[in-house]
Amino acid sequence: MFKRVQKCVILVFSFVLIFQSLTLEAQSDKSLFEKVNRSMSFQDKVWAVQNIKSVKKALSISDRVMNTMDSLYKSGLFETNVEGSRYDAFRHVFWMYSLACEIGIPKSRRIGLIYENYNQYVFETTPLSGYDFAGREMDEYNNEVGLNLFSRMGKQENSIVFDSISSLISKGCAKIIAKDKSQRSLDREGRVICDSVWKSQWNNDRYLINSNVEL
């Protein structure tokens, strides 16, 4: 029994560290642990215990991905790193591709879904969290782009991967949130949606556009 409990604690803590590296939220480790623990279904916890080596490997991969993304942003590759941007799209494509290289497509997809469930739980328990359905839809779409990229070309050097992802984004193969030049979210009529409005409604008027569209 103790070993099972110990494994459960380790896996939840591993997801805490994974999500901590991916999220922009500033919160205590205890708070994040509680949110991750409560957001994970029993089935997800059982799966994670059974695949704890892959979960722990996903932690180091996620850290590496975020460090790489920070470097790419500082290099001037992206105009902004806000949610819903091309940076955000690139990050999810690269994250899933990197996970798939090390732990395979099915496990990578499962971890991506667990992360999105966590984001939805945060929305439900934290006012104005910055998560919504459009954001989840965007992340899940771009996650699949990353998995498909791996299935097509396998494991490659980072320079080749970066060029491939950049090409996909420039061709509109990824999704981003429709925003104006000031990074304000727009509805389908081109009207600005106040942050306080969309952040308080899981289903709102924000929508996705192809990653090569300029509004």
With respect to residue 24, please indicate whether it lies within any of the assigned structural domains. Answer: no
With respect to residue 47, please indicate whether it lies within any of the assigned structural domains. Answer: no
With respect to residue 7, please indicate whether it lies within any of the assigned structural domains. Answer: no
Backbone angles phi, psi at 131, to 5 degrees: -105, 145
With respect to residue 27, please indicate whether it lies within any of the assigned structural domains. Answer: no
pLDDT category, 22, cuts 50, 70, 90? low
Angle at the Cα of 26 from the Cα atoms of 49 and 90, rounded to 5 degrees: 70
pLDDT in tens, 36-73: 778 888 898 888 888 888 988 888 898 899 999 999 99
pLDDT at 118: 87
pLDDT at 1: 34
Residue 8 has pLDDT above 50, yes or no: no
pLDDT category, 9, cuts 50, 70, 90? very low
Domain, as residue range, for 199: 57-210
With respect to residue 166, please indicate whether it lies within any of the assigned structural domains. Answer: yes
Q: Which residues of 37-60 are buried (b: 16+ CB within 10 A; e: fewer)?
A: bebbeeebbebbeebeebbbbbbe
With respect to residue 23, please indicate whether it lies within any of the assigned structural domains. Answer: no
Query: Structure pTM?
Result: 0.89
With respect to residue 199, please indicate whether it lies within any of the assigned structural domains. Answer: yes
Q: In the chain, how many domains are there?
A: 1
